[in-house]
Structure 1
């Protein structure tokens, strides 16, 4: 029997939390206690994602408030995880590596052998939520981890930008040169009491204008929706403008509506796309993991979008706070009309219905489960926003950057 969207959202929230609770190292004697797998399934079982840990730390207060676990259970997992990151997780100048070994907490996989500023920031966001909710030793551990980070290692002063990555023996490479998911790194970087970057770094990245149909917004180059969602999962930009008058919340609303409109227009005639089947982000696809995107092109940056009929439910779910009615209709369609898309942890990562036989991703991905869970909670209660926004680090960073109530 078809379920209502309210029922589906509750099922998805609980199943997504189960991912973070079950796909974790739960051995208290392990150096990797609390680490969470990058993805479910049979492959890469030893690979933990520090970004997924950030979502996991945020999920524990949700689970406690909804009665899925006790506060004692949540505190034990959160505090033990933070102890892992303070005592064992491999880092460089405080920045952790994108992927860690589930057991040893050492960096995992040669391809990701540099410390990651964005993944460290995603972890820190979850640590802030845990610090605000549990207080005590969790708050102390967050302070220690945060104050150890030397943000200047990632700061390219001549260009007034963050580097995209760091090689310990060669220095920085690439840049966070355009708007993307990195708004959180400016809040965290300027607020550091020990190694801050200058407030002027917020002026360094380009704001690239994009337009599709009736929607205008500042966009990442290839416009995957996670770039408009990840910082917003913790920082509540509703009713806030930056010093330049930019409303980042409204910007994400327009970016989401533009994506959905592209699915409605469907200029390439993909069978999968329509008004209730939309959402392009970084996810699995028939030809592997990639950052799927959709037009519009941003000024001066015409690129080839990854666009092959693949849809990720987390892309629509992650925009629940921006486009609630459009997202709810998509969620109902995903659950009631796409066979095989529901698994142990709720919606599987993606589907593609271009052939007679539907392709369904074989796994869930931690960050994709996380963005849906946090946005469901923010839409229904605002809990994660409240916990994050009340923390002194966030308040200090926002004030320094000039984020003010409209």
Structure 2
């Protein structure tokens, strides 16, 4: 099969995850499972990716525009009326049945932002009633509530039992949180908060970049699924797209260098990021430069296809070769929704599960690679334009 056909098939089957693994109960309609192992638990981030995938599916002819619109309307109504929230911020994991908290989950700023980007995309795409529902959800989020005023930073998390903890004090996947917060029509935050997190610089091989704590590729990908950073820089002249490209190449080089220790890691099997593993979900897989810079903790040899595929806009040729390799050489990875979450040859292990955010970054990034659709929809939005301008982003000269 030609590489373009494999990519299109992977994208369509990944979209099917969001279209099929969905709640149709009265109170939870539109909620999407976090992963296929726990079918009764939804992730609001998974819903954000799923909503963003609706225009992609329509434009590719996988679903009708009317079906997509109805799914968007009903899902946003569920979030407006039923999904558990505090000060407008949603609980990360909720039950598929009624949108109420499960797993003693946190009220999450980042997952709320990921959901909200999905609401924004369908709002901008369909307009009218869908846009009104997006604005109603957006306008009730009290962004300053989630701030540590002394540090001028977002807290990392909040739960009923613990209160607030930690801080978003370094670069990671959270850039959308500043753009949305600054542009809020009701409860805005100051643009200075974007400049308050630390930008630590590190190097691996030839690649010097502003690195994230774990070096997981998702941290360099998620905000980029919606915001087109290719030709804009902030007041410090940082181009985040170039930064993510360097992080992707560093990850690739690291995996090649680790082949002598792990059979799964090599030139066409790479992309260390948070994923399922033989020992359960791991959020700390990554590559240097990172806070750890320690190969013992960065990987156990597990590779998730979403790591590379989510970087297809940054290093298209390398990613295309990798997708072809997985498809032609690792049949155990393939299933109902395309590539399963991960594999590890040293442990003779192949994941049986699909994870929403991992399928989601694939669907969106493949479409941006093919057509730029999600970028085009997002960058037309008045709040995104306003947020970027207030923070000080400008077109690079």
* Short-chain TM bin: over 0.9
Aligned twin of 1:101: 95
Moved over 4 A (4+): 301-304
Corresponding residue to 2:183 among 182, 186, 191: 191
CA contact (8 A) 2:272 2:287 kept: no
Aligned twin of 2:317: 325
CA contact (8 A) 2:121 2:378 kept: yes
Aligned twin of 1:20: 18
5 Å-filtered alignment, 1:378-393, equals 378-393=368-383
Aligned twin of 1:33: 29
Please give the alpha-carbon distance, in whole angstroms, between the structure 2 residues aligned to 1:184 and 1:305.
28
CA contact (8 A) 2:342 2:351 kept: yes
Please give the alpha-carbon distance, in whole angstroms, between the structure 2 residues aligned to 1:100 and 1:37.
9
SS of 2:42's equivalent? Answer: strand
Please give the alpha-carbon distance, in whole angstroms, between the structure 1 residues aligned to 2:99 and 2:386.
31
SS of 1:230's equivalent? Answer: helix
Aligned twin of 1:51: 45
Please give the alpha-carbon distance, in whole angstroms, between the structure 2 residues aligned to 1:306 and 1:258.
13
- Unaligned regions of 5+ residues in structure 1, if any? none
Aligned twin of 1:4: 2
SS of 1:310's equivalent? Answer: coil
CA contact (8 A) 2:216 2:274 kept: yes
The Cα of 1:169 is off from its aligned counterpart by 6.6
**Per-residue Cα deviation, 1:38-93 (whole angstroms, up to 9, x for no partner):** 011xx421100100000010111111111111111000000100000011111000
Is 1:221 aligned to residue 204 of structure 2? Answer: no
The Cα of 1:291 is off from its aligned counterpart by 1.9
CA contact (8 A) 1:32 1:104 kept: yes
Please give the alpha-carbon distance, in whole angstroms, between the structure 2 residues aligned to 1:209 and 1:386.
31
CA contact (8 A) 2:217 2:286 kept: no
The Cα of 1:168 is off from its aligned counterpart by 4.1
The Cα of 1:171 is off from its aligned counterpart by 3.7
- How many aligned residue pairs are there? 395
Corresponding residue to 1:401 among 374, 391, 394: 391
Aligned twin of 1:269: 261
CA contact (8 A) 2:42 2:93 kept: yes
Please give the alpha-carbon distance, in whole angstroms, between the structure 2 residues aligned to 1:163 and 1:71.
39
5 Å-filtered alignment, 1:87-166, equals 87-110=81-104, 112=105, 114-166=106-158
- What is the TM-score when the length of structure 2 is the normalising length? 0.97
5 Å-filtered alignment, 1:65-84, equals 65-84=59-78
**Per-residue Cα deviation, 1:155-185 (whole angstroms, up to 9, x for no partner):** 1111111001123476421101110000000
**Per-residue Cα deviation, 1:212-257 (whole angstroms, up to 9, x for no partner):** 0000111111100000000000000001111100000000000000
Aligned twin of 1:287: 279
Aligned twin of 2:362: 372
CA contact (8 A) 2:259 2:265 kept: no
SS of 1:48's equivalent? Answer: strand
Is 1:362 aligned to residue 352 of structure 2? Answer: yes
- What is the TM-score when the length of structure 1 is the normalising length? 0.95
SS of 2:332's equivalent? Answer: coil
